[in-house]
Chain A
């Protein structure tokens, strides 16, 4: 029983991280039908910017909580700006061309950003000040570290904020309108370029938050860290129904759990195999994903 509970805790944490990254994929896909392959790089860039800012702040003698909160905010802002810049340079000029050319542009951007990170930050891993968040609770044999709790809490908070933004504000309404029909929404006075830009910014901000939490949770970041979680999160987004916010959360949790339980009860060699078997099975029986991809109301 302890074993099961421990694996459950592991699975929820990993799922939370995937969910945060998956949101960026799903939002961008929802609004311009683009699979943004560069999204994993925002996650990596966030991880790096986070450790740079947090180390600097803590060297100034700031308290750990303040350091992390400020670091999280600044890094999310930085990645949001980075994503807007990427969108302006790599995607906007191609908006009227075929979907394939935008996709290739996204792949190119991913390689560019990853190598940029390698050249500016070096090939060595950068260590996180893990002592800031060390420790945890012991329930019998089950260990729940503070960082796991933070990941779940911060992920939940960000998801609630995102839902409020999308469904309760005028900006959210404009985003949903743009997703449904770009031309029509432009006719009623919505600046669709601005809305698209904003969508990229929000997605990248969430990925940046995931980058920092992963840095603290695992202990270090490196320039190539965006690739694998990027693929997994993309799978999560498709699993939940791409374009669907709730779907991305559900998909992320499922992929995380399946991976952990496959590794825990079968063999860790096959954990990715099982994660993708689930994906294929769901797509076979429900091509639009678990939550469906064309529910206009919930689609951004």
Chain B
């Protein structure tokens, strides 16, 4: 009798402990779901959703019976980003994937840091993001200083440009990047003819473009926060007859750039992180992503990789504790859909910017900024 009782007790205890361990892994995402950057923001949320679906389809994470996502809207606004971070803290999420705009990630990451919540940004390329000594921040995309170097090398070695005109729209990211390029120009032997700032939400660029046209630059560098705005600017620039080489960056990079600007986008160059569509990880990503959310945007893969990396680290660490997950993240090599990477001590994952060109309505790899050779 005693034996049976003991057995029942043991059983009850294991059951109790099992149910105590079987919990839900709550992830949060932060990105602009409304406002002018809503397109990229939804790409990011969908990338995270896809990662969760993939992990669930593969059997989930031991110790968790479900994985959920709470997608918050930052509207690319620093204040709203902090509010979104506080909301996610209240919802007791284990980690946050986001934000998109550097100006939103910078304040939000500090709020999350106070609560020891890890933040993996798929799209904030401003250098400062990983240079504040925060131990909760990881960055899956590249850095602006590397991006500007790629752009400068391309202008110097391939285009052999002598003059440049820059336009940005005054966000931490877009202006930071344009400033980096401008600073590097004298060393590359390129003369800066002008650097204009437009307002976010502008649709009419005719005045600025008339200025650019009068300056006759070799390279017209477009650093905007948003691809749709980029498309509007390109259409108007072509109509105005500016025959410089158009060079843009990764926020302008998006399928909708070609969709809106159509043949006006042809011949344009963009700096963008190299993504190999033939890796098994990318193929798995696209198999889950495309049927549900359509063509992936510029940051879908980075968001997907951030979430996949985090969940793999939780699996390895067997916990969601910041220090344990951080140690796991730093020790692992990831073969992601966007790139293969390993997080460094400061949270960076390395940049692999290349020059892509739009030819006949398609993005093609054009020039390798590491080797200085054409593809």
- Which 10 pairs show the lowest CB-CB distances between chains A and B? A263-B207, A123-B38, A10-B206, A125-B228, A219-B235, A264-B207, A127-B260, A260-B207, A220-B260, A269-B197
Partner of A218, one of B196, B232, B241: B232
The reply on B198 being an interface residue by CB < 8 A is yes
Partner of A267, one of B197, B228, B241, B260: B197
Contact A136 B239 (CB under 8 A): yes
**Given A219-B232, A219-B236, A263-B211, 18 other A-B residues pairs in contact with their CB atoms under 8 A:** A7-B210, A13-B206, A14-B206, A123-B33, A124-B39, A125-B39, A218-B203, A220-B231, A220-B260, A222-B228, A228-B202, A229-B203, A260-B204, A263-B208, A264-B207, A268-B196, A268-B198, A268-B199
Interface residues of B in 222-245 (CB under 8 A from A): 228, 231-232, 235-236, 239-241
- Among A13, A130, A262: residue with most chain B CB under 10 A: A130
Chain B min CB distance to A183 (Å): 43
Q: Cα distance A13–B206 when bound, in Å? A: 10
Distance from B182 Cβ to chain A, minimum over Cβ atoms (Å): 15
Encode contact with B along A4-47: 1 for CB under 8 Å, 0 otherwise. 00110010011000000000000000000000000000000000
Contact residues in A for B33 (Cβ distance below 8 Å): 123
Smallest beta-carbon distance A222→chain B, Å: 6
A69 CB to nearest B CB, Å: 23
| A31 CB to nearest B CB, Å | 30
Q: Which residues of B contact A214 (CB under 8 A)?
A: 203
User: Chain B's nearest CB lies how many Å from the CB of A273?
Assistant: 10
Question: Is there an interface contact between A228 and B206, defined as CB atoms closer than 8 Å?
Answer: no
* Closest chain A residue to B234, Cβ basis: A219
Known: A123-B33, A131-B262. A260 touches B206 (CB 8 A): yes
* Chain A 102-142 interface residues, beta-carbon cutoff 8 Å to B: 115, 118, 123-125, 127, 130-131, 136, 138, 141
Complex: chain A residue closest to B297, CB-CB: A124
The CA-CA distance from A138 to B239 in the complex, in Å, is 11
* CB<8 Å pairs between A and B, sample of 30: A3-B210, A6-B213, A14-B204, A123-B41, A124-B39, A124-B228, A125-B39, A127-B259, A127-B260, A130-B235, A131-B262, A138-B241, A218-B204, A218-B236, A219-B260, A219-B261, A220-B260, A222-B36, A222-B228, A224-B34, A229-B203, A260-B206, A261-B207, A263-B207, A263-B208, A264-B207, A264-B208, A268-B196, A268-B199, A269-B198
Q: Give CA–CA (A47, B33) in the complex, Å.
A: 21
Give chain B's interface secondary structure class: helix
Interface size on B, residues (CB 8 A): 38
Q: Does B42 contact A (CB under 8 A)?
A: yes
Cβ B34 vs Cβ A118 within 8 A: yes
The CA-CA distance from A272 to B198 in the complex, in Å, is 10
Does B35 count as interface, using CB distance less than 8 angstroms?
yes
> A271 in the interface, Cβ–Cβ < 8 Å?
yes
Interface residues of B in 298-339 (CB under 8 A from A): none
Task: Tell me whether A145 is interfacial, beta carbon within 8 Å.
Answer: yes
Fill in one digit per residue for B162-205: 1 if any A CB lies within 8 Å of its CB, else 0: 00000000100000000000000000000000001111011111
Question: A195 vs B197: C-alpha distance in the bound complex, in angstroms?
Answer: 45
Report chain A residues within 8 Å CB of B1.
none
Residues of A within 8 Å of B, CB-based: how many? 40
CB nearest neighbor in B for A214: B203
Q: Does the CB pair A271–B42 fall under 8 Å?
A: no
Q: At the interface, yes or no: A207 with Cβ under 8 Å from chain B?
A: no
Interface pair A124/B210, CB less than 8 Å apart:
no
Q: Are A130 and B262 in contact (CB under 8 A)?
A: yes
Contacts of A141 in B (CB 8 A): 213
A contacts, CB < 8 Å to B? 3, 6-7, 10, 13-14, 115, 118, 123-125, 127, 130-131, 136, 138, 141, 143, 145, 214, 218-220, 222, 224-225, 227-229, 259-264, 267-269, 271-272
B38 touches A220 (CB 8 A): no
CA distance A224 to B34 in the complex (A): 9
Q: Which chain B residues lie closer than 8 Å to A13 at the CB level?
A: 206
Cβ of B6 under 8 Å from chain A: no
* Smallest Cβ-Cβ distance to A260: which chain B residue: B207
Known: A136-B239, A228-B201. A264 touches B39 (CB 8 A): no
B199 shortest CB reach to chain A, Å: 6
A225 to B203, CA, bound (A): 9
Contact B235 A264 (CB under 8 A): no
B35:A224 contact, CB within 8 angstroms: yes
**Docked pose: A262 CA to B260 CA in angstroms:** 28
B256 at the interface (CB under 8 A from A): yes
Which of A14, A222, A229 has the most B CB atoms < 10 Å from its CB? A222
Q: B20 within 8 Å of A by Cβ?
A: no
Known: A125-B260, A127-B260, A264-B207. A218 touches B235 (CB 8 A): yes
Among residues of A, the one whose C-beta sits closest to the C-beta of B259 is A127
- A122 CB, nearest partner CB in chain B, Å: 9
A123-B260 in contact given A214-B203, A225-B203, A269-B197 (Cβ < 8 Å): no
A211 to chain B, nearest CB (A): 12
Of chain A, the residue at the smallest CB distance from B258 is A127
The answer to whether A125 and B256 touch across the interface, beta carbons within 8 angstroms, is yes
Given A10-B207, A118-B38, A124-B39, residue A3 in contact with residue B201 (CB < 8 A): no
